[in-house]
């Protein structure tokens, strides 16, 4: 991934951070600026990667809200010693993501991550916190659609659980460096999925009859679960397809207009099973599983 210190890139990536108990600790994203209130979709550009679940939630928001004028640059699936790199980058003609940070942020210090929201008129990188970008795009271009006022508190409660126990939970399991840290994280993942499955036995979406931001934030983990997290991150108490409500719900989201175009199962497998001294030293990518995401979901 690489890091930058005062605007200077270093390929000496320290890797995932863990605490004294071997628990994975996610770094905070340092860019937190919002687009101007008069920004149009065409004023914005997104730097993303198909295999990054944090970028995926922004791509999904863009697709569901129909923000086609917001252009996108996609990094290649596997990082190099230069971090995230591009085969072709249409906006800045950058070859690596650290060049984007250098061009768009004065003396940036932090890890070189995606997604990054870029403001074309000012030539600046605004934000690299995916949750904030999702909320800002919804508030700016479709007020009340993804976060209705009467559902805001409930959505925020789901977002907190989903981030802590599911989105980040699978990484806490996969990057754990002790048995205790792994089991703690993995059990929390499945406790949360059980809770979500129970709720979805009563409502079509997490907060009722309409898709909201909470569903968008959950989907990227679900769509990667059986193909990657179940094996590569040892989250293997259950598969997604074992859940009576969560699995039809996930297919319902996948079949939402625009959602399937944001999914790349082959890239997920190549990314999560890429060579890793700790998790997959030989870099062998499994051939399965075969899962039909287009099967009727029966939810309405």
User: Which of these is catalytic: 52, 74, 254, 268?
Assistant: 52
Do residues 227 and 268 touch, judged by C-beta distance below 8 A? yes
171 is catalytic: yes
Count of residues for the chain? Answer: 300
3-class SS at 64?
A: helix
Q: Which residue has the tokens 């989250």?
A: 235
**One-character DSSP codes across 175-244:** T--SHHHHHHHHHHHHHHHHHHHHHHTT-SBTTBSS--HHHHHHHHHHHHIIIIIHHHT---S--GGG-T
Q: Which long-range contacts (CB under 8 A, 24 or more apart) does 181-189 make?
A: 181/18, 181/21, 181/22, 181/23, 181/24, 182/234, 184/23, 185/23, 185/24, 186/234, 186/235, 186/237, 187/237, 188/164, 189/165, 189/235
- CA 240 vs. chain centroid, Å, equals 17
User: Which of these is catalytic: 101, 171, 243, 273?
Assistant: 171
Say if residue 20 is exposed, middle or buried (CB neighbours under 10 Å; 0-12, 13-18, 19+).
exposed
Q: Which residue has the tokens 């030293």?
A: 281
> Bridge partners of 8?
5
User: Omega of the bond prior to 288 within 30 degrees of 0, cis?
Assistant: no
21 phi and psi angles, rounded to 5 deg: -100, 5
235 is catalytic: no
Active site residues: 52, 171
């Amino acid at each position: 991934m690489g890091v930058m210190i005062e605007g200077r890139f270093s390929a000496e990536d320290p890797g995932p951070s863990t605490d004294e108990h071997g628990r994975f600790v996610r770094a905070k994203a340092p860019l937190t600026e919002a687009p101007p209130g008069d920004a149009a979709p065409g004023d914005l550009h997104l730097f993303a990667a198909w295999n990054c679940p944090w970028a995926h939630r922004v791509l999904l928001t863009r697709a569901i809200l129909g923000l086609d004028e917001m252009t996108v640059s996609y990094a290649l699936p596997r990082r190099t010693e230069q971090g995230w790199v591009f085969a072709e980058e249409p906006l800045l003609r950058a070859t690596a993501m650290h060049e984007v940070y250098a061009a768009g942020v004065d003396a940036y210090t932090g890890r070189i991550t995606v997604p990054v929201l870029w403001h074309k008129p000012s030539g600046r990188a605004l934000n690299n916190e995916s949750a904030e970008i999702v909320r800002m795009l919804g508030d700016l271009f479709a007020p009340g659609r993804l976060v209705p006022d009467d559902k805001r508190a409930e959505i925020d409660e789901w977002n907190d659980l989903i981030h802590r126990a599911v989105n980040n939970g699978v990484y806490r399991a996969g990057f754990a460096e002790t048995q205790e840290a792994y089991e703690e994280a993995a059990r929390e993942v499945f406790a949360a999925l059980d809770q979500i499955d129970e709720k979805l036995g009563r409502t079509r979406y997490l907060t009722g009859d309409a898709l909201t931001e909470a569903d968008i934030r959950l989907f990227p983990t679900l769509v990667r679960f059986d193909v990657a997290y179940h094996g590569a991150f040892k989250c293997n108490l259950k598969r997604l397809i074992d859940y009576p409500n969560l699995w039809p719900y996930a297919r319902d989201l996948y079949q939402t207009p625009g959602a399937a175009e944001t999914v790349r199962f082959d890239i997920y497998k190549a990314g999560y099973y890429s060579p890793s001294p700790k998790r997959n030293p030989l870099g062998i990518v499994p051939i399965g599983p075969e899962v039909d995401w287009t099967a009727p979901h029966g939810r309405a």
